[in-house]
Structure 1
Amino acid sequence: MVSVDVGVSLPENRPVAGGCSRPIRLSGHVDHVDVGTGEIRRAFTSSDQPGGVLHVRCGNRRESACPACSATYKRDARRLVLAGLAGGKGVPDTVTTHPAWFVTLTAPSFGPVHSRRQKGGKGGPVRACHPRRGLCPHGRPAGCHERHHEADSRLGSPLCPDCYGYGRSVVWNALVPKLWKVTRDATESAVAASAGLTVAGLRRSARMSFVKVAEMQARGVVHLHVVIRVDGPGGPGSAPPGWAAGELVADALRGVVGAVAVPAPDPDVDTLGAVADVGWAVRWGAQVDIRRITLDGAAASGAVANYLAKYITKSAAAGGALDHPVRSLAALARLTLPPHLRRLVETCWRLGRDVAFAAALDAALGRDSGEIPRLIRWAHQMGFGGHWLSKSRAYSTTFTALRAVRRVWSRTIGAAMAGRIPVDAFGRLEGDENTIVLGAWTYAGRGLHLGGYGADPPELPSSRAAAGLVGTWRAER
């Protein structure tokens, strides 16, 4: 059966979609098919619901876009990270004895920006932003002697916008996924060499698992926070080799981070048409932090999980102005943005419109060109088009598995509150192998009904209101 989570109430006082702010409306049905006889029975149809539609969560990870879905995503992310450190969700508890490191990879400097500096870390006295004298080549002060408040709107913006490397900033963001892949592959080779093994030999004796979270900085560039864990060849259930207990992995990673580079087209050349023949090396920034994770209890593991989970619900810009793609420069002009972020988005559009540069960037990424240039498609993320959270297969559980458990729990609780047993259309317990579940759904709009069911909120483009086939799905037996 299809169930609807509770949370937001419609005018009929019917809670829907787990409190989602802008749920997706679907029309369609679910059929149950008997494996033995081929008999088909209609298990659910949206026509029986008020307005003839089913409301489902939007699933947006950003808190500014949907607080309810963002909170659910954040909890799932925390569970995913925590399971790989402390066990659970199919990962054995013995994983706490496996060596692990917390790694922070930063972006290089593209020009001095206003920042809040504190002596001795957080809680220490605030230092002057950039205590320098003189003028930059454009006649602006080369330094800033203020001690910025943490809510200062200038934080992250350049001291001189004309000195700042906007082109390289957005191109660096676009190439972060490739730079991370090169780093991951080079680390495996470096660890194998340090252990006196070949790469094939390393894979026979150990497995390196990771979970990676991207964080958008105030200056509009991405930093990566990574947990790296060393397991035995069988994954988290097998003991790691003895050489992994020391600092061999950390030392190899430090050498790799300082050496890896990805060739990229240079956006700062005078003539973009010649960019294919002129390049620069995309590297990590000088500030790299590699720390051993001491898993001495659930509290330590939970602190790491909380630290990573909080970043993936952040918006690219304060207030959520860039939570959605920027469809045109005219749409950009209507947004209320700080000048620095606006110029970053404009730079994405300027470079993305240059055919030669867009082709050179796709070549650097090793990907085929799409219908929409990559920088334009991801202009609302300052060029970054990678995953905000990704992991290796063996690290821990998956978002899909966590959502499946939540759906089963929701159906079970709903049936219990109704005083019945959750069964399918044939009277068998849900999940019975003799029943195949088939569904077909059509997009019917977005948001809670405004001015009648089936109508999209007025701020959505009319093209979003057009119904389109979502598709069919088939449950595993």
Structure 2
Amino acid sequence: MGSPICPDCYDYLGHVVWQYHAPELWRRAIQDVSRQLAARLGVPVSKVSKVVSRQYGRTAEMQARGAVHFHALFRLDGPLDEGIGAACGVGVDVMVEAIEAAFSRAQVQAPPTFECDQSRVLRWGEQIDIRIVREGSRTDDPDAPITGEQVAAYLAKYSTKDTSLAVPDGAHVHRIKQTCAEVHEAAILRAESRRAGEEVPVPVDSEGRDHYVLIGKWAKELGYRGHYSSKSRCYSVTYRTLRRRRARFQQVTKSRCYSVTYRTLRRRRARFQQVMQEETERAQRAGKPVDLAAVEEALLSQEDESETSVVIGVWEFVGVGWTNQGEVEIATAAAARAREYAQLRAGKQ
């Protein structure tokens, strides 16, 4: 495990090229899912978000041989402007067909790594496994439908998996890192040749840089330059919202006794119920789901006066130096003693 059967026959260069371009291949496949949905629903791509919106959460995992593969959870929501998790009237079969079509046709043209090398067409392999997540509790029956609890456990495991344990650090890993270094060195030499005005047959990217000039930066990741965990913007709560809620939590729990009184808790609970009731009635009148972001904004905008911190940013120049002659004499004596002590230490040495 962790090493090819025949190291001399193994395509280390192709391995590194796949790792380096895997994030771009994923991006193109995800974009094409929206196009496939639009084609099956009979709407333009620019207006598909007014009918349905595809959301996903994805984790990357390193296999024992050091090759990256992905685990993703897709969700088909209603119109994007109705918020996260809006009801959707489109069947799950449409989503499955769109994913299968998008990932089967997605490809990336990887440029050559050396002048004597050739370009490669990268695609997803035959190991694409699409399963429908059903409602229910966790089960250990392998033939039973997969449930949301199982998916959450899978994604948590892959997100916290230690790559150093999954990929043993041996000759195989060393060879992958060495290949990354060789490709990086060749890219640097080509860049210097271009600056010198020489003609280089290997193409450059849209910014005029060599495609592999940054691969040395990702050698420690075995050439993979993507995030190990990513999600679409409306898949779940954003990091910005999480930061705001953490700040809100710290503000709520901060008091003179480092706790919250029951009176404060009752007041905040009543305030939350009032805001939630108002937003629920507003959503029912509009025929839309409750906007949790609006609830949060209302709670944060109306803070209690006792919890408000007043920051005064007015500065006035008072002066420099010591305020009286006594402080001057004390400081002068302290400086003299420090010099004497330094001279004594220097004499002993």
**TM-score under structure 1 length normalisation:** 0.47
C-alpha deviation, 1:296, in angstroms: 3.4
In the alignment, is the contact (CA less than 8 A) between 2:59 and 2:155 conserved in 1? Answer: yes
Instruction: State the distance in 2 between where 1:279 and 1:320 align.
Output: 28
In the alignment, is the contact (CA less than 8 A) between 1:211 and 1:391 conserved in 2? Answer: yes
- Structure-2 residue corresponding to 1:354: 186
- Superposed, 1:200-219 pairs within 5 Å as 200-219=46-65
In the alignment, is the contact (CA less than 8 A) between 1:349 and 1:379 conserved in 2? Answer: yes
Letter paired with 1:307: Y
- Structure-1 residue corresponding to 2:227: 387
Q: Would the alpha carbon gap of residues 260 and 417 (structure 1) be closer, same or farther in structure 2, given more than 3 Å must change? A: same
- Superposed, 1:43-442 pairs within 5 Å as 155-233=1-79, 234=81, 235-240=83-88, 242=89, 244-267=90-113, 272-275=114-117, 278-296=118-136, 300-318=147-165, 337-355=169-187, 363=205, 369=209, 373-410=213-250, 412-413=252-253, 415=255, 417-418=257-258, 429-430=306-307, 435=311
Question: Partner of 1:213: helix, strand, or coil?
Answer: strand
C-alpha deviation, 1:211, in angstroms: 1.1
C-alpha deviation, 1:398, in angstroms: 2.3
Q: Would the alpha carbon gap of residues 266 and 369 (structure 1) be closer, same or farther in structure 2, given more than 3 Å must change? A: closer
In the alignment, is the contact (CA less than 8 A) between 1:273 and 1:356 conserved in 2? Answer: no
Instruction: State the distance in 1 between where 2:170 and 2:252 align.
Output: 48
Q: Would the alpha carbon gap of residues 419 and 180 (structure 1) be closer, same or farther in structure 2, given more than 3 Å must change? A: closer
Question: Partner of 1:289: helix, strand, or coil?
Answer: coil
Larger Rg: 2
Instruction: State the distance in 2 between where 1:318 and 1:351 align.
Output: 26
Q: Would the alpha carbon gap of residues 201 and 412 (structure 1) be closer, same or farther in structure 2, given more than 3 Å must change? A: closer
Instruction: State the distance in 1 between where 2:121 and 2:45 align.
Output: 26
Structure 1 portions without partners, runs of 5+? 1-154, 322-336, 438-477
Tell me how large the CA RMSD over aligned residues is.
3.4
Letter paired with 1:303: Q
Structure 2 portions without partners, runs of 5+? 140-146, 192-201, 265-303, 314-349
C-alpha deviation, 1:367, in angstroms: 6.3
Q: Would the alpha carbon gap of residues 436 and 253 (structure 1) be closer, same or farther in structure 2, given more than 3 Å must change? A: farther
- Structure-2 residue corresponding to 1:60: none
Higher relative contact order (CA 8 A, sep 6+): 1
C-alpha deviation, 1:415, in angstroms: 4.0
C-alpha deviation, 1:228, in angstroms: 1.1
Instruction: State the distance in 1 between where 2:28 and 2:208 align.
Output: 18
Letter paired with 2:150: A
Deviation per CA, 1:17-41, whole angstroms, max 9, x where unpaired? xxxxxxxxxxxxxxxxxxxxxxxxx
Instruction: State the distance in 1 between where 2:64 and 2:312 align.
Output: 49
In the alignment, is the contact (CA less than 8 A) between 1:264 and 1:361 conserved in 2? Answer: no
Q: Would the alpha carbon gap of residues 262 and 430 (structure 1) be closer, same or farther in structure 2, given more than 3 Å must change? A: farther
C-alpha deviation, 1:420, in angstroms: 8.1
C-alpha deviation, 1:232, in angstroms: 1.3
In the alignment, is the contact (CA less than 8 A) between 2:188 and 2:213 conserved in 1? Answer: no
Question: Partner of 1:214: helix, strand, or coil?
Answer: strand
In the alignment, is the contact (CA less than 8 A) between 2:62 and 2:163 conserved in 1? Answer: yes
Identity of aligned residues (%): 31
**Higher strand proportion, which one?**
1
Q: Would the alpha carbon gap of residues 436 and 159 (structure 1) be closer, same or farther in structure 2, given more than 3 Å must change? A: farther
In the alignment, is the contact (CA less than 8 A) between 1:206 and 1:231 conserved in 2? Answer: yes
In the alignment, is the contact (CA less than 8 A) between 1:211 and 1:392 conserved in 2? Answer: yes
- Structure-2 residue corresponding to 1:328: none
**Higher helix proportion, which one?**
2
Deviation per CA, 1:22-76, whole angstroms, max 9, x where unpaired? xxxxxxxxxxxxxxxxxxxxxxxxxxxxxxxxxxxxxxxxxxxxxxxxxxxxxxx
Instruction: State the distance in 1 between where 2:180 and 2:222 align.
Output: 7
In the alignment, is the contact (CA less than 8 A) between 2:62 and 2:167 conserved in 1? Answer: no
Q: Would the alpha carbon gap of residues 320 and 256 (structure 1) be closer, same or farther in structure 2, given more than 3 Å must change? A: closer
- Structure-1 residue corresponding to 2:346: none
Q: Would the alpha carbon gap of residues 319 and 171 (structure 1) be closer, same or farther in structure 2, given more than 3 Å must change? A: closer
Instruction: State the distance in 2 between where 1:279 and 1:319 align.
Output: 30
In the alignment, is the contact (CA less than 8 A) between 1:173 and 1:383 conserved in 2? Answer: yes
In the alignment, is the contact (CA less than 8 A) between 1:349 and 1:376 conserved in 2? Answer: yes
C-alpha deviation, 1:157, in angstroms: 0.9
Letter paired with 1:306: A
Instruction: State the distance in 2 between where 1:200 and 1:172 align.
Output: 31
**TM-score under structure 2 length normalisation:** 0.63
In the alignment, is the contact (CA less than 8 A) between 2:109 and 2:122 conserved in 1? Answer: yes
Q: Would the alpha carbon gap of residues 369 and 302 (structure 1) be closer, same or farther in structure 2, given more than 3 Å must change? A: farther
Letter paired with 1:342: H
C-alpha deviation, 1:252, in angstroms: 2.3
C-alpha deviation, 1:196, in angstroms: 2.0
Instruction: State the distance in 2 between where 1:251 and 1:418 align.
Output: 54
Question: Partner of 1:290: helix, strand, or coil?
Answer: coil
Letter paired with 2:149: G
Instruction: State the distance in 2 between where 1:161 and 1:224 align.
Output: 25
Instruction: State the distance in 1 between where 2:11 and 2:63 align.
Output: 16
Instruction: State the distance in 2 between where 1:190 and 1:343 align.
Output: 40
- Structure-1 residue corresponding to 2:195: none
C-alpha deviation, 1:266, in angstroms: 3.7
Letter paired with 2:230: S
